[in-house]
């Protein structure tokens, strides 16, 4: 078994489109913030809100966007300081074409979560994707970098895709390693 550095190098060679060093052993658990903030709410109320969120997600997955929106609205009314409900509602609003409303909810989720933990990370990625679609690459990159710092492998992957030089470098490294492993193979 190799050292963590050896494993990271091998991972980079065989997974050139994934940021260097980003593999399961190095991903952080980002649930600490949510676990800490749960204690701020009554358990019964929190359970009710999480049930509404679950039903909202199920409705959205089955294409019932209006029902999903209603469930997330109910959750926000019951617990207006619960960032997750805003994050989920933002997804539904975006699917309905209300990008302004989605960004507003993502901003609220980020304010409530401090941009930390799983919800903060998801909100940063979602807002970063919206900003990319709007052509605001500088702001998108900032959100994705913050999400990557929080441990989002997906944000790291998007950042690589936005940086063609990093992807090219990883590809060249993979090709070089393949040639070392198969010295007699012909390649261009």
What is d(CA 145, CA 90) in angstroms, rounded to the nearest whole number?
20
Q: Are residues 86 and 106 in the same domain?
A: yes
Q: Are residues 146 and 96 in the same domain?
A: yes
Q: Give per-residue pLDDT as tens, 124-142.
A: 999 999 999 999 999 999 9
Q: 3-class SS at 184?
A: coil
Q: Are residues 174 and 188 in the same domain?
A: yes
Q: How high is the pLDDT of residue 168?
A: 66
Q: How high is the pLDDT of residue 4?
A: 53
- The parent domain of residue 66 ranges over 29-150
Q: How high is the pLDDT of residue 26?
A: 34
Q: Are residues 20 and 34 in the same domain?
A: no
Asked, for residue 155, whether it belongs to a domain, the answer is no
With beta carbons less than 8 A apart as the criterion, state whether 155 and 124 touch. Answer: yes
In whole angstroms, how far apart are CA 142 and each of 77, 113, 135?
A: 31, 17, 13
Low-confidence residues of the chain: pLDDT under 50: 1-3, 5-7, 9-36
Q: Are residues 144 and 57 in the same domain?
A: yes
Q: Are residues 23 and 64 in the same domain?
A: no
Q: How high is the pLDDT of residue 28?
A: 38
Residue among 120, 125, 116 at smallest CA distance from 159: 125
Q: Are residues 48 and 103 in the same domain?
A: yes
Asked, for residue 146, whether it belongs to a domain, the answer is yes
Q: How high is the pLDDT of residue 159?
A: 87
């Amino acid at each position: 078994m190799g050292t963590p550095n050896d494993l990271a190098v091998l991972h980079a060679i065989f997974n050139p489109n994934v940021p260097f060093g980003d593999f399961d052993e190095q991903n952080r658990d980002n649930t600490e913030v949510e676990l800490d903030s749960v204690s701020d709410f009554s358990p019964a109320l929190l359970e009710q809100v999480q049930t509404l969120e679950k039903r909202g997600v199920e409705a959205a997955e089955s294409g019932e966007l209006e029902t999903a929106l209603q469930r997330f609205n109910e959750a926000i009314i019951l617990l207006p300081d619960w960032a997750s409900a805003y994050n989920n509602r933002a997804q539904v609003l975006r699917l309905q074409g209300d990008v302004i409303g989605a960004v507003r909810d993502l901003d609220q989720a980020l304010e409530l979560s401090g941009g930390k933990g799983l919800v903060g990370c998801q909100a940063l990625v979602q807002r970063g994707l919206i900003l990319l679609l709007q052509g605001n690459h500088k702001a998108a990159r900032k959100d994705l970098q913050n999400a990557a710092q929080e441990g989002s492998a997906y944000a790291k992957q998007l950042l690589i895709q936005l940086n063609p030089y990093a992807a090219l470098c990883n590809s060249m490294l993979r090709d070089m390693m393949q040639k070392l492993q198969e010295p007699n193979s012909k390649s261009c």
